[in-house]
Structure 1
């Protein structure tokens, strides 16, 4: 079995600052979209760009590993 080495884009790494999940506004900044676009896609489909968030209280936390896949042009795999 070969391990997939995933490179986190430097801008995303700076935003995440070592965290596994980031907030909606941070995801929007990394994806170059408006926060409202991210929330609207989530409300309409339950995901945004194939990425499903974790609910924490009244916040949505988005997995950095899946955002990294998106930004690297890879198919988003849930893990």
Structure 2
């Protein structure tokens, strides 16, 4: 499913740098955890300021963008410059 471009494409990182979500423009994401690159991969879609994730194993999660911050599963991620 093709989605319209949104302003949230890019890298989102926790303050300690341990969790990194790379939101790709094609609706896929790649999540790194610690030293483990590509720990989780899957697809996502954004509706307004809400994001839904489905990883390649079928696990689902979601989050919300508020004032330039991604709140996801109890984590706070900020866009990496």
TM-score normalised by the chain length of structure 2 = 0.26
User: How high is the TM-score relative to the length of structure 1?
Assistant: 0.26
Which has more helix, going by share of residues?
1
Structure having the higher Rg: 1
Q: Which has the higher strand share?
A: 2
